[in-house]
Amino acid sequence: MEEPMALIGDKFPEMVVKTTHGMKTLPKDYSGKWLVFFSHPADFTPVCTTEFVAFQKRIAEFRKLNCELVGLSIDQVFSHLKWIEWIGDKLDVKIEFPVIADDTGKVAMKLGIIHPAKGTSTVRAVFIVDDKGIIRAILYYPQELGRNMDEILRMVKGLQIVDAKGVAMPANWPNNELIKDEVIVPPAQDERTAKERLKQYECFDWWFCHKKA
């Protein structure tokens, strides 16, 4: 029987995995932290190498948000270790986050991230998991297109503000074309609140009010 695909709002599946930092239990080992779990098609490939460097260059920014990184591909752990060593030697970048060696493909199958047209390769998937172990966002990219790590950072920041303030985030936040770096107040659910909102906040209409984060 096939595993159901992980969806936004689901608990991140519990699993014990072999990584370049030893055995880990997910998401338990990251309890109380946010997690960016990402898969890449294969070690020793150009696009994936640029992605690993880009993630590492931003690791301090992720950690300021109480967020850790974990990578994965269907490669053996010695391949991960040699590739990480190559990145350090040739590109002078030390990869600090663990990389899962999913050489059996069990983790990828559990998460539904096997590329349907590329044999056993994993897609470029990203799962943003909150500090309670809940999947808050899922992104998929084709093999040919590298990810934008600044967007992933923006998503973690935005979701944390959503949780802390009970608001919604506009397009291109914090550089939205209508309300700049402000956030959206959830629409009123009754007539009295709708009228009060117009007095409390800047509004385009009762259903579209905004404020400072």
Q: Where are the domains of the chain?
A: 15-147, 166-213
Q: How crowded is residue 114: how many other Cβ atoms within 10 Å of its Cβ?
A: 17
Average pLDDT over residues 57-74: 97
- 48, 67, 203, 209: which is the annotated catalytic residue? 48
Is residue 190 over pLDDT 50? Answer: yes
Known catalytic membership, residue 48: yes
Fold of 15-147: Glutaredoxin (3.40.30)
Q: In what order do the strands lie in the sheet with 124-129?
A: 22-26, 15-19, 99-101, 67-73, 34-39, 124-129, 135-141
Average pLDDT over residues 179-192: 94
- Residue 201's φ and ψ, nearest 5 degrees, are -130, 165
Give yes or no for a contact between 138 and 111, defined as CB atoms under 8 angstroms apart: no
What band does 1 get if pLDDT is binned at 50, 70 and 90? very low
Average pLDDT over residues 108-135: 85
Fold of 166-213: Antioxidant, Horf6; Chain A, domain 2 (3.30.1020)
Closest CA to 213 of 149, 170, 153, 155: 170
Is residue 5 over pLDDT 70? Answer: yes
Q: In what order do the strands lie in the sheet with 183-185?
A: 183-185, 208-211, 202-205
Q: Which residue has the tokens 């009754």?
A: 190
pLDDT above 70 covers a percentage of the chain that reads: 95
pTM: predicted TM-score of the whole model, two decimal places: 0.93
